[in-house]
Each structure stands twice: as C-alpha cells, then as structure tokens.
Amino acid sequence: MIKIVSSGFDPFQEVHAYQQQQQSLAGKYGATNLFIGTMRDLNEGDSVKGMTLEHYPGMTEKQLARVVAKAGKQWDFLDSLVVHRVGDVFPDDVLVLVAIWSVRRGAAFDASRFIMEALKSQVPFWKKEILVDDNSRWVEKNTDGY
C-alpha cells in the first residue's frame, strides 16, 4: 500500500495496524524491514526549525507505485507499505516509512533500501527548510544512500 499523508503519523502504529489487517501474512513472513526517515533539527551545519514538503499530486503516487513494482520484480517479498508525509513538518516528525514483509531477510533489506533510494531520486517531493532566523531554502539535492 502507498499513502501520502498531510498530518503527523506514528510509523509503528501504521505498520502494526497494516500487518494486523493483512491476515494472509500471518505465519508466512519471517522478515520485516522498516526504514523510517525523521526530520532532524540540523542540516548542512544550520539549525532548522521547520520544513515544508511539496509534492506533485498524482505523479507522486504513480512514481511510487512504479518504484515498488520495480522492487517486486527484483526481490521476492510478500507485501509492502510506503507512507510519505507532505505539508508542514517539524524536527522529530516522521517524513517517510517503508516497510517490507518477506520470507527471508535478504529480500526485506534489499527491497526496503532500493525503494528508499529510488524514492529519493525519482519521486516528486521537494523539501524547503525554514532556518531558525526565519530564512528559508530549498534542499537542492538528495545524497546517495549507499
């Protein structure tokens, strides 16, 4: 499942609730990998007090679905959940959650990481940081995560 949310969410509750709901998973998965991206209060040496996450509605969902489908062709997993926050966020807010359920651990690690990297380079979200002096700046580029 793919969700774009405009208010705060608890990644652990999301995963727990989703897992409970997917009754066909019970007893079948041996591995779950979660990646959670959280807003820090410091970036590139500057204190950051808030951020706005812009996205391209429609294209975001379409590209996320493509990324998850690509992962599904490369690795054998049973289910996935991707949740991404948009709108105004503050330090310690969760920005993104990727969860993968699989039979064996390798696929869960690999698919989760692949989805995060692809999301960061291909899915139309943009971050604008608000610094403590109220100046704001666009984040120009995501770094490579490998």
Partner 1 sequence: MAIKVRYFASLKENLGRDKDSLDFEKSISVAEVWEQVMPEQAIPDNTLTAVNMEYVTLAHQVHDGDEVAFFPPVTGG
Q: Which residues bind partner 1 (CB under 8 A)?
A: 37, 53-56, 58-59, 62-63, 84, 95-96, 105, 116, 119-128, 138-142
Query: Rounded CA gap, 80 and 139, in Å?
Result: 28
Sole binder of its own copies in the list 2, 4, 103, 118 (CB under 8 A)? 103
- Using the rule CB under 8 A, is 38 a contact of its own copies? yes
Query: Rounded CA gap, 111 and 68, in Å?
Result: 8
Residue pair 79/22 in contact (Cβ under 8 Å)? The answer is yes
- Using the rule CB under 8 A, is 67 a contact of its own copies? no
Query: Rounded CA gap, 52 and 136, in Å?
Result: 10
Q: In terms of Cα–Cα distance, which of 87, 146, 92 is closest to 120? A: 146
Q: Which is nearer to its own copies, 34 or 131 (CB)?
A: 34
Q: Which is nearer to its own copies, 39 or 83 (CB)?
A: 39
- Using the rule CB under 8 A, is 75 a contact of its own copies? no
